[in-house]
Structure 1
Amino acid sequence: MKLVAPLNAFGRADLAMAGGKGANLGELVKNGFPVPDGFVITTHAYELVAQGSDTREHFERVELPEELREAITGAYAELGGGPVAVRSSATAEDLPGAAFAGQQDTYLNVVGEEALFDAVRRCWGSLWTDRAVSYRARLRLDDSEVRIAVVVQRMVEPDVAGVMFTANPVNGDRGQLVVDAGSGLGEAVVSGLVTPDHYVLRPSGEVVEFTPGRGEVVVRSAAGGGVVHEHHESVGGAAGGGVGREHPDSQSSGGLLSGETLRELAGLGRRVAGAFGRPQDIEWAYAAGRLHLLQARPMTALPPPPVGPLNTFQRRVAMILTEYLPERPYPIDMSTWVSDGPAGLMAKVFSEYGVENMIDGALHEEDGVVYRLAPAKPRLTVRALATPFKLLARALRYDPARWTEDPRFQAYLKDVEELRSRDLAAMPWEELRRVPRQALAVARPVADLRAAYLPGVGLALLRLMVALALRGRRGMMGELLLGARTRTSDANRALERLAETARRTGALEADEPPKEFAEELEAFLAEYGHRETASPLLITAPTWADAPEVVLDLVRVLAAAPPERKEQERPPLRSPGLARRVAAAQAGITFREDSHFSFMLPAPILRRSLLEMGRRLAAARLLDAPEDVFHLRLEELERLRGTDDPAAARLREVVRKRAAKREELSGVRLIDPAAVHPVADAGTALLTGVPAGGGTATGPVKVIANPAEFGRLEPGDVLVCPYTNPSWTPLFQRAAAVVVDTGGAASHAAIVAREYGIPAVMGTGNGTSVLEDGKIVTVNGDTGAITAAP
């Protein structure tokens, strides 16, 4: 129960006693890094004075017990009694996913015992500022479990100081270090008071990029304690002779730091990152010809490393996954539907035909959370030698027009219905925990059906393509495929009928919807409610049945006055042979859409079973909410023998850490869109993408970020969205055009856009960030250009 101890008494395992900052600094000292001498006033000291109070005012007024005053005074005397830096070190800061940067207080150039006691009190109190409490709440940290230590170090009076990141915080490149430097104390750089010298370095310390700072403010120690801010006119870089430019290290680099100092910094940075096993955010100071490390913590919100140039296959996989993953998968997604749902089972189909790594391993996890999308290069196996013969044999044997007659499909529907009929709420835990695997097993036959019938789809499309080429009419392919009846088009027509009922009965304005509309809505959800709202790969995303408000928003859009536009009509066919080939190709398109529709039938069962387990764990106070179960992996749930299993007590902390990591990555993309959709020179256009639906249309932009915003679309708007799936396509009946960040000409959205005859541009990469609501644009579905219009 030490109240005070030197820094070298602590290491990374002493978080509970020394807090994040103190534990990390102690680890640096143990590893021989140049850290200023200091000591830690431990969390035991905080607990001694807390007395059950959790207000800032209490800690700033509290009288320190005599034994604590003596311990602090003795440690301060051992440092020489001179100026010190006093830094807060909470048990929940400087951790992966929870940096707490700037949330607790730091006091520089503290002189004298009474000033030191006062700074310590203020550090304790800073644990209870509104901003710190709010930050903890966002990261699901229980206030009652947080403690705070205080780090006291000999004050370093630097010529130059700043921050170093051991990976590039902008692009995620782990092969670069980034250094920001300013004259005087590093507080000016850390707090953003000054525009610092900015260096991008290779691991060797070689400068890749240098941007001179402006030297607007220099923070220095004041006589007698505290700091002063010296304001200077902005001088625009080293050449202007700004503050601190006379430093001898400024000569070779054109900035405040010499090449030798930069190489030393880079070497220290590499070693610190190696010691902690991950990229670090480091505060440093250069004083009297020597570098000092003042702080090190894991970098947070670090983008994934840039992917190398993607080949054609990798880019295609990345296009599919970015379209189908509008949000970061949860751990429960990764251990269920991502691996055993549509994408995972299609990877098994590819494997059967001798192609490995098509999707497997594309999503990389860190601290239990997906942080990066990087498709591997496909690899051919010996099975690929037999693929042409296997494809031809299956194409001739399995007719896509008759796939619903296959006994395997009929058995699949029966199994789904049997599993759906079970009462999950009445099941004992032992039975309930088996249901997710059963739901995944039920879905597997659809993958077998796809493997069997997709070759026939390819053959039908190839035959039609050849027939058209021989007639010199290859350009008619898209027009001839229009009009294929699919479960997606059935759902869209059913929504139109529901919208008509809503118009006729006034259902959307009524407090209590009329019986006719309520019954029709119930029948619609029974038939189509298993459709995904956001993604077919994420079991955590609600279905239409889970979120009927999404359906009602679609009905509201469709019930508005429709624009004058007719669906595309297929050209008449005079050749019976060509008509048969068109019918076969259309049957292939139908199979592709309808097998996906059927594949999603077990998804709601899987989702409900997981949420039922989450509900029981929340009722037992092992989770805060049923949805917290999404932060767990299926294996972790399966290992539990019940809510009274002693192992269940650890779930809350697992959930908290993963939730914090997910929150940290909330603004970080899984992959740079430019790597998937290379940005082309748009010329006079606002942006360009893949042309996917012919013609042009002009209208006001309406950016729809997710299904919860469906109701914002008005007839004649240009729908701009980050992704689409079949659930979005009813909106196309009212949109003037559609512009999508992801996807290509063969995606569901592109096919339906062509059906409705509206221009579509896919794969823009950044349309949702470039275009703003209300801006009038012209969308050219033939060239893929979006231009400003009067």
Structure 2
Amino acid sequence: MAVTEEILGQFLGDETFPVSWESEVEKDFFWVYDDLHIPHPVSPMFFDIGGWWLSCDHMFRRFGTPFAVDWLAKNVNGYVYTTAIPADPLLRIEGTEYSARYEARVPRDATFAETMGAYLDTVLPVYGRDFADWWRDRLRPEMERNFAYLEERLDAADAMSLADVACLLEDAIDIHDRHWKIHWMLNFAQLSATLKLRAVMEKTRGKVDEELLGRLQNSASDRNWDSIEALWRMKNEVRDDTELRAAFSSEGAPEIARSLKVSERGRRFIAERVEPYQREFGWHAVWSHEFIFPTVREQMEPVLELIHGYLATDYDFPGAIEAMRLDIQAASREILEGLTGDALEEMRAANAVNLRMAPLTPDHHFYIDQGANAHLRLVLMEVGRKLVDAGRLDAPDDVMFLRYNELRSLIGSADVLDARGIAAARRREREEARKIQPRDWVGTVTPSQLAFPYLVNWGYPDRFHRKQSEDRTVITGIAGS
């Protein structure tokens, strides 16, 4: 793709941050560092099968977006950079998905970008209006069934063969892909509901009140609150039990865990409270968009640390959730104040849709960003354990340092590659990459690429106009998204 518009900036690499380009076409694109989701050096396995970008072609295809048709990722010095692909039938650009060469999906129709916008405008309001029902009645139950299947198989993994867990891995990959396709449907549905509320607010009030709009995006009924309530109940049990309270007087979660394990009461608290919490709410890691980091499902210390913090403040869950509920109700009244007739009804209807969508933000993190990635990690770890038992790897999480097809080749034959050596070398490479300060972007910046709507999530276009950060110690991003 020859650049035919103004070039606002270009960086193709230098001695401090070299960039390996697979083609001349790649250089023409604006590649943005994904510090929002993956601020750390990415593992080979996550890059191959875990990335959020893998299902974006489905999103753009389903909604008929005129502004982009695909989203590719590139590994630059160990870090993930992504770029949006325009609807240009003449464009040929490759990426990598599932260890395979992948050519970005572009339309054959040269008029796609000019004609498809009307389709998006036609269907998008339906998603905003109906998606909460689809989520409740069809999509959430589907995802819960998927998780129940994976968890049942994981519980039986000790009795499974390497071939069995290899098949389970393919199931987990398919489930991960499906959940992320649901994610993008939800993403656009939320966009529709929010845009509608903003439009009605501007129409009826003359301007958008951002503070009021933000309050109306909150939720008082979702899986995040369910998790908080469970922690609060454990906090109360500890507070009211002398023996448990003594164990939690220890400094630090590891010491609390040791104190609990030495008494019958402490062991019962772990078995009856902590472990069930982990099974229900532990499907996330400190950085969810990666397979390397252990999940809360695998370690109790993060749960104990949260309970310890709640004890220190005597956290009041009923008071907190009631305050949130009352504020949402107050904001809903405020947005209607002074309106009458059609304006009142239009605003009431737009906010009703918005309020139904609000809980889906934390819920989709639970079922997709966190849950789908965490379930896939645990299946990978079971594959890793089988390979350790077979003498093919040194540690279960060595699988994260293999590529997808390398792992499958290793499952098929122990002699096909030096998996131990590859994993060890890539661990070292990742540690070396941590010493590098990633640039905000690489490639070529043009007005149309800078205007890609989703880039606002990374702070663009404003971020482009700021000087590249010189702070080499700061890691940014969303830890639990």
TM-score range, shorter chain: 0.5 to 0.7
The gaps in structure 1 that reach 5 residues or longer are 1-171, 177-301, 308-312, 682-686, 688-704, 706-719, 727-747, 749-790
> Structure 1 residue 479 and structure 2 residue 215: aligned?
yes
Specify whether residues 484 and 679 from structure 1 end up closer, same or farther in structure 2 by C-alpha distance, changes over 3 A only. farther
Q: Aligned in 2, Cα 1:669/1:546: closer, same or farther, shift over 3 Å?
A: farther
* Distance in 2 between residues matched to 1:373 and 1:379, nearest whole Å: 20
Does the C-alpha gap of structure 1 residues 488 and 314 become closer, same or farther in structure 2, counting only changes over 3 Å? Answer: farther
Instruction: Work out which of the residue numbers 596, 605, 609 in structure 1 matches 2:379.
Output: 609
Mapped pair 1:633 → 2:403 = yes
Pick closer, same or farther for the CA change 1:455–1:606 going to 2, 3 Å.
closer
Distance 2:198 2:72 in 1: 32
Counterpart residue number, 1:13: none
Question: What is aligned with 1:651?
Answer: 419
Question: Aligned in 2, Cα 1:407/1:722: closer, same or farther, shift over 3 Å?
Answer: closer
State the structure with bigger RCO (CA 8 A, min sep 6), 1 or 2.
Answer: 2
RMSD of the alignment, in Å?
Answer: 3.7
Confirm or deny that 1:421 pairs with 2:152.
Answer: yes
**Residue of structure 1 equivalent to 2:278:** 525
| 1:231-380 mapped onto 2 (5 Å cutoff) | 303-305=17-19, 318=33, 321-338=34-51, 342-352=52-62, 353-354=64-65, 356=68, 359-361=71-73, 363-364=74-75, 371-380=78-87
Report the Cα offset of residue 349 of structure 1. 0.9
- State the aligned residue count: 376
Amino acid at match of 1:441: D
SS at match of 1:497: helix
Determine which of 554, 557, 569 is the counterpart of 2:306.
554
Instruction: Give the Cα–Cα distance (whole angstroms) in 2 for the partners of residues 721 and 668 of structure 1.
Output: 11
Q: Partner of 1:322: helix, strand, or coil?
A: coil
In structure 1, what is the equivalent of residue 130 of structure 2? 399
The residue matched to 2:218 in structure 1 has which SS? coil
1:543 aligns with 2:295: yes
CA displacement at 1:428 relative to structure 2: 1.9
Cα 1:543–1:636, aligned 2, differ >3 Å: closer, same or farther?
same
Deviation (angstroms), 1:331? 0.9
Distance 1:304 1:558 in 2: 47
Q: Which of the pair is proportionally richer in helix? A: 2
- Preserved contact between residue 291 and residue 400 of structure 2 (Cα < 8 Å): no
Alignment CA distance shift 1:652-1:388 (3 Å): same
> Which residue identity lines up with residue 595 of structure 1 in the other structure?
H
- The structure-2 alpha-carbon separation of the partners of 1:722 and 1:582, relative to structure 1 and needing over 3 Å to count, comes to same
Structure 2: state its 5+ residue gaps. Answer: 1-10, 22-28, 89-106, 250-255, 261-265, 337-343, 443-457
The whole-number CA distance in structure 1 between the counterparts of 2:478 and 2:431 is 24
Query: Which of 713, 723, 734 is 2:477 aligned to?
Result: 723
One-letter code aligned to 1:556:
H
**Alpha-carbon distance between aligned partners in 1 of 2:199 and 2:136, rounded to the nearest angstrom:** 29
Asked if structure 2 preserves the Cα contact closer than 8 Å seen for 1:435 and 1:606, the reply is: no
* Equivalent position SS for 1:349: helix
CA distance in structure 1 between the partners assigned to 2:121 and 2:428 by the alignment: 47
Seq. identity, %: 20
Structure 1 pair 583–495 and aligned structure 2 pair: CA distance change class (3 A) = farther
| Distance in 1 between residues matched to 2:270 and 2:419, nearest whole Å | 44
Is contact 1:534–1:541 with CA below 8 Å preserved after alignment? yes
Q: Closer, same or farther in 2 for the Cα pair 1:551/1:563, shift >3 Å? A: closer
Asked whether the 8 Å contact 1:539–1:603 carries over to 2, the reply is yes
Q: Distance in 2 between matches of 1:517 and 1:433?
A: 32
Cα distance in structure 2, aligned partners of 1:347 and 1:725:
25
Cα distance in 1, alignment partners of residues 400 and 165 from structure 2: 16
Q: How far apart, CA to CA, are the structure 2 residues paired with 1:424 and 1:534?
A: 25
Distance 2:350 2:285 in 1: 32
SS of residue paired to 1:541 = coil
Name the CA distance, whole Å, in 2 between partners of 1:680 and 1:356.
25
Shift of 1:332: 1.2
Distance in 2 separating the partners of 1:306 and 1:613: 32
Q: Which amino acid aligns with 1:431?
A: D
Equivalent in the alignment of 1:666 = 434
More strand per residue: 1 or 2?
1
Over 3 Å counting, the alpha-carbon distance change for 1:329 and 1:347 in structure 2 is farther
Q: Contact 1:465 / 1:474 at 8 angstroms: preserved in 2?
A: yes
TM-score (norm 2): 0.67
Which residue type is aligned with residue 208 of structure 2? R
Cα separation, partners in 2 of 1:460 and 1:497, compared to 1, 3 Å: same
- Normalised to the residue count of structure 1, the TM-score between the two structures is 0.42
Residue 17 of structure 2 aligns with an amino acid whose one-letter code is P
Q: Determine helix, strand or coil for the equivalent of 1:364.
A: strand
